[in-house]
Structure 1
């Protein structure tokens, strides 16, 4: 028996009717590509996005939405400073910290306040 082989996706919650602002952020700012939800799930609302190497981020509608302030996806990037600048220019917070040995990282958030961590290995 094999163990866990990879992470397929991470899901964050979003408020009802927020798909346009999600597309503007996840496609427009982060450069992810929206992928169609399966028909059985599409009626529930939300959006799914895919990045390089098949990583997926799903946003699902939650009627009593509250942003994830602690739980978050860790998004590995190349050129962390570029991403910090890009998010800052788009009006999103960028908060660096040095608490993860071997990684440079900062925290930001999506348009609904969900926490996002951006990382790049040191060296």
Structure 2
């Protein structure tokens, strides 16, 4: 029945779209996807990397996701970690996934993100 995951959605506070664009497109290099007009009126922004999409929706009583998170597969995890650190994002390495290198970080509104590279 299920053939894949279309997108993952995280919440964000009202008025945070510029910070989210600077981070997800500027720092991480994801491509922003234009939202359909009826959905764009709600605020937020959508990004894509490869076949995966990340939607950031506006939530009036926003609380960042501190445990739940998207796992973002990367190539060149050390370069990715250095880039995030250079932009002031936390980089917390976690050796607990056999056969992978990974670390956790946070977006500008505090949502937890996992970056993982096999090998």
Shared fold, TM over 0.5: yes
2:119 aligned with 1:107: no
Tell me, yes or no, if structure 1 residue 98 matches structure 2 residue 98: no
Deviation at 1:101, TM superposition (A): 1.1
Task: Report the equivalent of 1:87.
Answer: 84
Looking at structure 1, the residues matched to 23 and 94 of structure 2 have their Cα atoms a distance apart, in angstroms, of 23
In the alignment, which residue of structure 2 is the partner of 1:29? 27
**CA RMSD of the aligned region, Å?**
0.7
Q: Deviations over 1:53-93 (max 9, x none)?
A: x2110000000000000000000000110100000001100
Cα deviation for residue 7 of structure 1 reads: 1.0
Trace 1:1-123 onto structure 2 (pairs within 5 A). 3-52=1-50, 54-122=51-119
Q: Which runs of 4+ in 1 moved over 3 A?
A: none
Deviation at 1:38, TM superposition (A): 1.0
Gaps of 5+ in 2: none
Aligned partners of 1:86 and 1:104: how far apart in 2? 16
**Number of equivalenced pairs:** 119
TM (norm. structure 1) is 0.94
TM-score of the aligned structures, taking structure 2 as reference length? 0.97
> For 2:112 and 2:82, how far apart are their aligned partners in 1?
17
